[in-house]
Amino acid sequence: MVDLSPIVLFVYNSPEHTKRTVESLLKNTLASESRLIIFSDGAKNDSDSQKVQTGRDYIKTIKGFDSTEIVIRDKNLGLADSVITGLAEVFKQNDRVIVMEDDIITSPSFLSFMNKALAFYQDKKRIYSILGYPYPIKIPNQYQKDVFISFRTSSWGWGTWKDRWEKVDWGVKDFSTFISDKKTQKLFDKIRPRDINLEFAISDIENELTYSMFNEPALNGFSKKISEERNFETDYWITKTIKIKTKTLRTVLDEFLSTDKTIDFFKY
């Protein structure tokens, strides 16, 4: 198989999990022909520093792939920002990628399946990602195919293409349109029937916060300190700020959770 997709692995402070993830990838038949690109996020606090460093010491020893590239982050971006900004960098030189996090164990056929599927569906523009793990669904006994198409994605070992990635609106700029579009809401409800759309932020007090929006939506956030640092110390800048009301979790549960239901916080 030629022109294999690079494997992009995002790691943080779980060196033992990272090792198991890498070891499972190395058992894949295409591992020795694949490029591995690792993004190591910076420590969030002093207590995480040692684990982050231990993980970095380990990834520097990895062998068995066609090549290994390591990107060290000086600051903590958090998983979402790390993935979004990291893939943006990788897509500057690649048209498709396989994405992994540091707590996933793959089967020996994972890379083969992902590469074949990414090549097969590349020109089918309605397909936005290939998943190594789907959320459990009921498959009819008479269904005999090897794959199925779903409205829902998963982050547990997945792949996508540059042209689809660039269409994703991380800032959800069309949310105001979405909440007034009954047809789109009906489709969303079909996919996630138990979801409730809440148009406010969760906080420990009921208040109103300033939400900073950047020219790179992955950096949007409420923290004034972090937003100002990003605005003055990076290549990104704040395009506008908006006021968003906050509610406490207790208020939300009292208002939206009926008395005959309970929440399993582990599963939901």
C-alpha span between 174 and 178 (Å, rounded):
6
Nearest to 90, CA basis, from 43, 40, 38, 128: 38
Question: What single-letter amino acid sits at 194?
Answer: R
7-165 is classed CATH 3.30.460.80: no
The pLDDT-based confidence of 2 (bands split at 50, 70, 90) is: low
C-alpha span between 82 and 66 (Å, rounded):
24
State the number of CA atoms in the 13 A half-sphere of 59 facing the CB: 30
Q: What is the pLDDT of residues 34-92, one digit of tens each?
A: 999 999 999 988 889 999 999 999 999 999 999 999 999 999 998 888 999 999 999 99
Max CA separation in the chain (angstroms) = 59
Residues β-bridged to residue 158: 99, 131
Portions of the chain given CATH number 3.90.550.10: 7-165
28 vs 9, 25, 114, 234, CA distance in Å?
A: 15, 5, 11, 38
Nearest to 197, CA basis, from 224, 176, 220, 169: 176
List, in order, residues 6 or more apart from 1 with CB less than 8 Å away.
30, 33, 112, 115, 116
The pLDDT-based confidence of 181 (bands split at 50, 70, 90) is: confident
pLDDT at 267 over 60: no
Rounded to 10°, the helix 15-26/46-59 angle is: 20
Residues β-bridged to residue 39: 10, 71
Q: What is the pLDDT of residues 127-152, one digit of tens each?
A: 999 999 887 777 888 888 888 888 77
